[in-house]
Structure 1
């Protein structure tokens, strides 16, 4: 998946106050969309050091932390041991390179992950396959920001374009909301963040 090498290098210094704060507001936004989740299993996709997933552990029956960076996964393993956390698992895996066949989830959430993914449609389609029928994919990311020019990340997302891609794949009941605006939170630029909730199942 995109930028794995970079994340491998910064894993042990990743948890800055700024990232912890963004993870907190992202977790609150995700929590608002959860329905009867206590009996459900979740995947924190592109979890990094687990900043978002750790805030949501009590909302689910179990959680899988999944990332392409082994060093990030190692950081989570330390947290799991340090805090004696139960009902969680970790997996180092690159869904851009191959699909997952033996894991399924009721909820998948990804916070500031999509902007690092080169082939957005491919990954969203593979995650659709991982979802159980009636399951939800929640995406937290930046709204499109023309001030940002980068060859390593997308400069945010246009809601209509993203919803169009997801509808084509088969996602239903898509809801989109901008929930946070912050100073210099996206590559040194002021930016706004959205949450998108989508469902696998009948329209």
Structure 2
């Protein structure tokens, strides 16, 4: 996945008050879309240090924290051990490099992850394969922001364009909305975040 080397360097100082706050806002938004999740298995995709997934642990039967950065995964393993968490596991893997046929989940969520992914359609297709029939992918990310110019991340996403890409892949019942506006939350710029729910 894009920018793994950057995340490797900041893993042990990643949990700033700002990131913890955004993770709380993101996990609260995701929680609203969960249905009968206590009997379901989830993947926190591009989990970083697990700030979002940790907030949602009690909502699911099990959670797999998945990231491309070994150092981020190390941080999660430490939290799982420190808090003696029984229903979580970790996995270091890069879906931009290859797909994975033997991994399945009822829910996959990704918060501020898509903007780091170079080939959005490829990764969303591979995640579609991981979802069980009827499973949900929940994406929390930034709305397209013309003030952002970056070589390393997308400048957010147009919800309609993203819906179109996902419809072509095979996702259905796609719904999305902007749910949060924050000051200087996206590369030093004021920005809004959306949540998108799509079903297989």
TM-score tier by shorter-chain length is over 0.9
Provide the secondary structure at the position in 1 that maps to 2:54.
helix
- Structure 2 unmatched ranges of 5 or more: none
Matches within 5 A, 1:49-88: 49-88=49-88
Alignment-derived partner of residue 174 in structure 2: 174
Provide the secondary structure at the position in 1 that maps to 2:121.
helix
Alignment-derived partner of residue 122 in structure 1: 122
- Structure 1 unmatched ranges of 5 or more: none
Alignment-derived partner of residue 198 in structure 1: 198
**Whole-Å separation in 2 of the counterparts to 1:40 and 1:81:** 22
Please state how far the C-alpha of 1:101 moved relative to its aligned partner: 1.1
Provide the secondary structure at the position in 2 that maps to 1:56.
helix
2:9 aligned with 1:9: yes
Provide the secondary structure at the position in 1 that maps to 2:167.
helix
**Whole-Å separation in 2 of the counterparts to 1:140 and 1:29:** 8
Indicate the RMSD between aligned Cα atoms, in angstroms. 0.3
Please state how far the C-alpha of 1:47 moved relative to its aligned partner: 0.1
Q: TM-score, normalised by structure 2?
A: 1.00
Q: How many corresponding residue pairs?
A: 200
Provide the secondary structure at the position in 1 that maps to 2:15.
coil
User: Could you report, residue by residue, the CA deviation over 1:49-77 in whole angstroms, capped at 9, with x for unpaired residues?
Assistant: 00000000000000000000000000000
**Whole-Å separation in 1 of the counterparts to 2:160 and 2:102:** 32
Provide the secondary structure at the position in 2 that maps to 1:103.
coil
**Whole-Å separation in 2 of the counterparts to 1:139 and 1:154:** 15
Please state how far the C-alpha of 1:23 moved relative to its aligned partner: 0.1
Structure 1 stretches of at least 4 aligned residues deviating more than 2 Å after TM superposition = none
Q: TM-score, normalised by structure 1?
A: 0.98
Alignment-derived partner of residue 134 in structure 2: 134
Please state how far the C-alpha of 1:87 moved relative to its aligned partner: 1.3
